[in-house]
Chain A
Amino acid sequence: MSKTNLLQFTGQSIYCSKAGVHIDPWQPVEKAIITHAHSDHARWGSKHYLAHHDSAPILRQRLGQDISLETVGYGEPFQINGVTFSLHPAGHIIGSAQIRVEYKGEVWVVSGDYKLEDDGFAPAFEPIPCQVFISESTFGLPIYRWKPQQQIYGEIENWWAKNAQEGKASLLMGYALGKTQRILKGVHSDGGRLFAHGAIYALNETLRKAGHDLPELTLITTDMDRKQLAGSLVLAPPSAGSGPWLRKLGPVSTGYCSGWMAIRGAKNRRAIDQGFVLSDHADWNDLNTAIQATGAERVFVTHGFTSAFSRWLREQGLDAQEVQTMYGNEEITETQALEAEPNTDMKSSD
């Protein structure tokens, strides 16, 4: 292609030079469109932000109440310098969006992070026809194939019930933004109480205040009686799995929700009692399904197993290439990068 691409990978963002707009920049810029509020996509320091309505309260909580932020709904096109932009559900977390960019009949779509399974909280992913698709590949290897979420919720409920029988609390770890809301929607409490670590509690309150239908959680405080934790479900970010916070809970069984739990080594390394394979990212099959559904002939593969997944797509006859971004992290350390997220962004009240 001789002319300049509609979107370019500049080393600081996915950039539309025609419109002068950056998508998910990892360095401060003038105008940024944000796919979703996770901290590897929504970074601090840009002058103007634009995102979906539902991302607003979290972005303000994380990037500052006084940021310049404009919000739009899904499927509401707007123009910047002749380029048409619109946001479409990505199904990853609340407010997550794919960014559709159109200029003179050429359509590019930036996926951000996405999953196809409807989690009942974040609006479900919609395939957007396009010529060029920029896809994540966090779980872009065929070893990652998810079971239906209902089955995982069932596993969590059984684990919780068994712990309750043994008089233990069930400490369930997962990312504060995304995983927690799914668990609150999908796992049935059966009368057991719900407690939360400070990071989870703060985020849940933010979302409740914004009008989302989420149950109230009880904040775990230093002075509370540990005995009432027996039989309850305690929600916490991944970082809570070790150290003094954990020890204060009394008898406890630890669980961890993540796509990485599909691999025995990843599970064992965390020294947790139980891993639940639950992810807010598309698995191998769904990455392929999503890409096929866009009808795109060109695919850029960002963060994840970029080289393997782009090679696979090329062998399927697509014009695919890998792109270096600062999303996620290098394939292996992503877990750690995401883990760092909730606590750097929000003060734990503990």
Chain B
Amino acid sequence: MKRFSELFSELDRTNKTNTKVSLLKNYFMTATDEDKLWALTLFTGRRPSFKINRKQVREWATEVAQIPEWLFQESYQNVGDLGETISLLLPPTRTQEPERSLSEWFDYLGKLPSMDEEKKKEMLLAAWEALSPQEIFVFNKLLMGSFRIGVSQSLVVRALAEATGQPTNVLAHRIMGDWNPDSTNFYNLIHAENLQDQDSRPYPFYLAYPIEADIADLGEPEEWFAEWKWDGIRSQIIVRNQALFIWTRGEELATEKFPELHFLVERLPHGTVLDAEIVAWADGKPLPFQLLQTRIGRKSLTKKTLSEAPIGLLVYDLLEWKGQDLREKPIEYRRSLMEQLLNADPFLGPVQLSPLIEFSSWDDLRELHPDSRSRQAEGFMLKRKSGPYRVGRKKGDWWKWKVDPLTIDAVLIYAQRGSGRRAEQYTDYTFALWDQNGKLIPFAKAYSGLTDKEIGQVDYFIKRNIVEKFGPVRTVKPELVFEIGFEGIGASSRHKSGIAVRFPRILRWRKDKTAQEADTLDSLKQLLVQYGL
């Protein structure tokens, strides 16, 4: 555990990619296979649950620290992280137990779910007594399933590739997907040749960068495909050995959420992988994303939900065909295969090829671009006809060209402290618009979009202009105006304003505007009529 918690704090300390890779590589070259598998579990965002109640952990820690409950709360508010707060408050290490490795601690934690409260408490206290503050911090994160670290998957893959000599695309493929440390071991996951039991594995998604320069700089228009950039859920549909799997870009297996697509297992041959967008869909047309959202959070899907939020699948790439990995082939080729495949089958219903936009000059595209939103698209995707399907976010062959967000000028009215890195500053804001009676009605929360310097200035203002406190929320004197951008808009009965906006963020601080000059709720309603549901 000492070794792993050191790795954690070293990774935490640096923001240099190369340093991170070399730290990880070093770990993958020296740790035991058991520990590596657990480390990989954590670095790929898998967080095993030990059925532990955070509130109870807190109570036990308060008891051991011998402080009153309010003082624990006060400390927690200043640290911003429960696991860290506990590590800072517990008395220094008292026992001299032999060091346990990361995997041994996971074995230890694995016993917790079947234990009664009394025994759980005993186990936790013994663990805390045996560990240093730095280790307690990491241990608490494992315990409460809140382990997070700033290393991207591609970085882990790079380090792993350097340590094992396996190619990055193979590794990326292998560490994605449906495995857990109980179902496999490090050798099978990373080194084993046999991929037969891995039917469910998706390929890593190829992600596009926003286009930076003028599109004319991309070269000749004939070298490019243009498609609408759909506003839905990026997914891979996999059919292998008579089984179907749906993966979303968040690497979540979402097969059960979309029963409408299950029929594809009958229609696609073994060894087919499609890259596609699941969109809200009716009468042969895409609908706003908000409709889909009603399905995403649901545990069980009722007939009613299915009929109220119908879906379609817009297919734009073919990654595997008859068991063959096509990713190295140009998209022009992949697309022609796809056309044969999908156009030949009249029974595909809501499964369609994402159409190509016809254009002969860049000006054609420029002219069409503003229409995106009314077609329920976010803009264009531009793909080089000769380009392969790459791994992760890469520049060069794919670009996204999005329409400008919808914007509105709103007043900051509530603030809350951030967490982690931002625990001491007010960084989470709620924004409001004027209603017809001259009252400010909250409509969106936004966390990001300001520079560190601006956050400092806003924080300074907030600390001097707090009007009221409600728990962690501070009501702030309505004075600062910000331009808020968002990608979509829909009616919502759950919001006080009656409107929900999608991906709200701060575009800029309107220092030139007073609160009185901010926009009205009516102007937001106008946008709803124009673009919303």
Contact = CB atoms under 8 A, between A and B. Distances in A.
A332 B13 CA distance: 22
B125 interface: no
Given A141-B71, A143-B88, 6 more contacts: A143-B78, A268-B12, A269-B421, A271-B15, A312-B71, A332-B425
Given A142-B65, A308-B74, A311-B70, A264 B460 contact: no
Contacts of A264: 12, 79, 81, 84, 137, 420-421
B463 A330 contact: yes
A302 B388 CA distance: 65
Interface of A: 141-145, 262-269, 271, 273-274, 305, 308, 311-312, 315, 330, 332-333, 336
A297 B68 CA distance: 21
A338 to B, nearest CB: 14
B85 interface: yes
B89 interface: yes
A273 B65 contact: no
B422 interface: yes
Contacts of A333: 460, 463
A141 B75 contact: yes
Interface in B51-86: 65, 67-68, 70-71, 74-75, 78-81, 84-85
Nearest to B72: A142
B421 A265 contact: yes
A262 B88 contact: yes
Given A143-B88, A263-B78, A263-B84, A332 B71 contact: no
Contacts of A312: 68, 71
Interface string B83-112: 011001100000000000000000000000
B171 to A, nearest CB: 29
B14 interface: yes
Contacts of A266: 424
B423 interface: yes
A262 B84 CA distance: 10
A332 B424 contact: yes
B89 A142 contact: yes
Most buried by B among A142, A143, A315: A143
B71 A265 contact: no
Nearest to B84: A264
B531 to A, nearest CB: 38
30 contacts: A141-B71, A141-B75, A141-B78, A142-B71, A142-B88, A143-B75, A143-B78, A143-B79, A144-B88, A145-B88, A263-B78, A263-B79, A263-B88, A264-B12, A264-B84, A264-B420, A265-B79, A265-B81, A265-B420, A265-B421, A265-B424, A268-B420, A268-B421, A269-B421, A269-B422, A305-B78, A308-B71, A312-B68, A312-B71, A332-B463
Given A265-B79, A266-B424, A333-B463, A273 B13 contact: yes
Contacts of A311: 70
Interface residues of B, number: 29
Contacts of B15: 271
A142 B75 contact: yes
A120 B81 CA distance: 36
Contacts of A263: 78-79, 84, 88, 423
Interface of B: 12-15, 65, 67-68, 70-71, 74-75, 78-81, 84-85, 88-89, 137, 420-425, 456, 460, 463
A274 B12 CA distance: 10
B68 A143 contact: no
Nearest to A275: B13
B315 to A, nearest CB: 42
A267 B84 CA distance: 13
A268 B452 CA distance: 13
Q: Which 7 A-B pairs rank lowest in CB-CB distance, beginning with the nearest?
A: A143-B88, A265-B423, A268-B421, A308-B74, A143-B75, A332-B424, A265-B421
B80 A265 contact: yes
Contacts of B79: 143, 263-265
A288 B78 CA distance: 20
A150 B425 CA distance: 32
A295 to B, nearest CB: 23
A35 to B, nearest CB: 26
Contacts of A315: 68
Contacts of B70: 311
Most buried by B among A263, A267, A333: A263
B208 to A, nearest CB: 29
B74 A141 contact: yes
A177 B62 CA distance: 37
A275 to B, nearest CB: 8
B388 to A, nearest CB: 37
Contacts of B85: 143
A265 B422 contact: yes
Contacts of B12: 264, 268
B461 to A, nearest CB: 12
A273 B11 CA distance: 10
Contacts of B425: 332
A265 B78 CA distance: 10
A266 B137 CA distance: 16
A265 B425 CA distance: 10
Nearest to A335: B424
Contacts of A142: 65, 67, 71, 75, 88-89
Nearest to A308: B74
B295 to A, nearest CB: 36
A143 B85 CA distance: 7
Contacts of B84: 263-264
B81 to A, nearest CB: 7
Nearest to A331: B78
A266 B84 CA distance: 12
Given A265-B79, A311-B70, A143 B422 contact: no
A333 B424 CA distance: 9
Most buried by A among B13, B74, B460: B74
A129 B425 CA distance: 39
A265 B424 CA distance: 8
Nearest to A141: B75
A141 B75 CA distance: 6
Nearest to B75: A143
A145 B65 CA distance: 13
A268 B8 CA distance: 13
A308 B75 CA distance: 9
A145 B68 CA distance: 17
Nearest to B463: A330
Nearest to A267: B13
Contacts of A141: 71, 74-75, 78
A311 B463 CA distance: 22
A195 B217 CA distance: 49
A293 to B, nearest CB: 21
Contact of A274 (B13, B89, B456, B463): B13
A269 B15 CA distance: 12
Contacts of A268: 12, 420-421
Contacts of B137: 264
Contacts of B424: 265-266, 269, 332
A262 B12 CA distance: 14
Contacts of A271: 15
A99 B137 CA distance: 41
A273 B23 CA distance: 14
Most buried by A among B75, B420, B425: B75
Contacts of A273: 13-14
Most buried by A among B12, B70, B424: B424
A143 B89 contact: yes
A37 B460 CA distance: 26
Nearest to B460: A333
Contacts of B463: 330, 332-333
B527 to A, nearest CB: 36
Contacts of A265: 79-81, 420-424
Nearest to A273: B13
A75 B421 CA distance: 45
